[in-house]
Structure 1
Amino acid sequence: MSTLEKLYPLHQACMDGNLAKVQELVEELATPDDIVALDSDNRTPLHWAVSFQREEIVTYLLSFMKEIDLDKLKDDSEWTPVHIAASVGNLFILTQLYDREIKPDLNLQTKQGTTALHLSVAKKHLSVCKFLIDNGASVRLKDQKGQLPLHRAASIGSMTLVELLCTQGKSPVNVRDKQGWTPLFHALAEGHGDIALLLVNKYDADVQLEDNAGKKPADVALNEQVKKFFLQNLA
Structure 2
Amino acid sequence: MTSPEPQPPAPQPQEPESKDRVYRSVPAIAGGVLLLAITGWLGIDAVISGEGRTPWLALAVLLLVVPLVAAFTLRPAVYAGDDRLRIRNPFRLVVVPWAQVAALRSSYSNEVLTQSGAKYQLWAVPVSLRARKKAARREMRATAQARRGTGRDAGRGSALGMPTGLDGGLGRDSVSEGPARAETDRIMDELRGLYEARHQTEAARGEVTVRWAYEVLAPAVAGTVLVLILVVVG
TM-score (norm 1): 0.20
Query: Higher relative contact order by CA 8 Å / sep ≥ 6: 1 or 2?
Result: 2
TM-score (norm 2): 0.20
Instruction: Specify the structure having the higher radius of gyration (Cα).
Output: 2
Quick check: which one's strand share is greater?
A: 2
